[in-house]
């Protein structure tokens, strides 16, 4: 009996050690990934998540003429606005869910007809601006929020330098559909 209890204890200790190692490894990988993101200057903030999701909408043919707003709070994303089909609604949700840092998605998009002619929606213009910002090395270390109403863009948040601020405004102004740009960006060096 005594031998069986010892064997059981050894087995239990080995199983717990293995499980602990697996958890530590999984946490280490998760931590390494997060550290790698932070070390490259691309911390996953709510602003970054919003920008990344919008930028991923641009190449999606199904999402053309959509008017999508992305709100992110503590990694939880809410999609509101309109899309032209149920497939477009589903695709927007899939894109949001697959984005790094997203903890959950509430897809409140509604299906509505596309705007008449070639009119660009505010949501589509916002996605195009974010699409340019997210890949622009001159804006690394920035946390920019884009608000838009009837083609009038307001840039909020912070950038690491005056040159980044000037560049962000120039990019927004040069985007098709933008009628004006209100710059309220602040300069704060990257941390």
Give the number of domains in the chain.
2
Say if residue 28 is in the same domain as residue 58. Answer: no
Give residue 141's pLDDT: 86
Give residue 57's pLDDT: 93
Q: What's the angle, vertex CA 170, arms to CA 166 and CA 174, rounded to 5?
A: 175
Bridge-based pairing state of the strands 67-73 and 76-83: antiparallel
Say if residue 149 is in the same domain as residue 180. Answer: yes
Q: How do residues 139-178 score in pLDDT, each as one tens digit?
A: 988 889 999 999 999 999 999 999 999 999 999 999 999 9
Say if residue 73 is in the same domain as residue 158. Answer: yes
Say if residue 26 is in the same domain as residue 56. Answer: no
Say if residue 116 is in the same domain as residue 178. Answer: yes
The contacts of residue 132 (CB under 8 Å, 6+ apart) are 171, 175
Confidence label for 44 from pLDDT (cuts 50, 70 and 90):
confident
Q: Indicate the Cα dihedral angle 181, 70, 149, 45, nearest 10°.
A: -30
Output the pTM of the full model: 0.66
Q: How far apart are the first and last CA of the chain?
A: 62
Rg (CA), the chain: 23
In 42-58, which positions are buried (b, 16+ CB within 10 angstroms) versus exposed (e)? Answer: ebbebbbbbbbbbbbbb
Closest C-alpha to 175, from 13, 54, 1: 54
Give residue 16's pLDDT: 37
Say if residue 71 is in the same domain as residue 36. Answer: no
Say if residue 58 is in the same domain as residue 119. Answer: yes
Say if residue 110 is in the same domain as residue 125. Answer: yes
In the predicted model, what is the mean pLDDT of residues 133-137? 89
Say if residue 22 is in the same domain as residue 56. Answer: no
Greater pLDDT, 3 or 116: 116
Give residue 14's pLDDT: 39
Give residue 150's pLDDT: 92
Q: How do residues 53-90 score in pLDDT, each as one tens digit?
A: 999 999 998 888 889 999 999 999 999 999 989 999 99
Say if residue 27 is in the same domain as residue 94. Answer: no
Say if residue 154 is in the same domain as residue 86. Answer: yes
Does pLDDT of 38 surpass 50?
no
Domain of 133, in residue numbers: 46-187
Say if residue 85 is in the same domain as residue 150. Answer: yes
Q: How do residues 99-133 score in pLDDT, each as one tens digit?
A: 999 999 999 999 988 766 667 889 889 999 998 99
CA distances from 184 to 135, 139, 145, 164, 166 (A): 21, 16, 10, 13, 11
Out of 39-43, 48-52, 81-85, 158-162, pick the least confident.
39-43
Give residue 142's pLDDT: 87
Give residue 4's pLDDT: 44
């Amino acid at each position: 009996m005594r031998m069986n209890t010892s064997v059981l204890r050894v087995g239990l200790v080995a199983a717990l050690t293995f499980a602990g190692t697996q958890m530590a490894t999984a946490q280490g990988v998760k931590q390494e990934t997060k550290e790698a993101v932070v070390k490259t200057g691309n911390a996953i903030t709510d602003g970054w998540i919003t920008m990344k999701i919008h930028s991923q909408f641009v190449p999606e043919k199904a999402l053309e003429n959509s008017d999508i707003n992305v709100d992110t709070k503590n990694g939880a994303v809410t999609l509101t606005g309109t899309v032209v089909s149920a497939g477009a609604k589903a695709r927007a949700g899939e894109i949001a869910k697959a984005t790094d840092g997203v903890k959950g998605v509430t897809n409140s998009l509604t299906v509505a007809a596309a705007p008449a002619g070639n009119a660009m929606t505010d949501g589509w213009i916002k996605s195009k601006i974010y699409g340019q910002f997210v890949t622009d090395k001159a804006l690394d270390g920035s946390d920019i929020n884009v608000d838009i109403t009837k083609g009038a863009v307001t840039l909020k948040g912070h950038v690491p330098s005056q040159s980044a601020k000037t560049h962000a405004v120039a990019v927004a102004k040069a985007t098709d559909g933008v009628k004006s740009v209100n710059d309220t960006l602040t300069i704060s060096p990257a941390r």
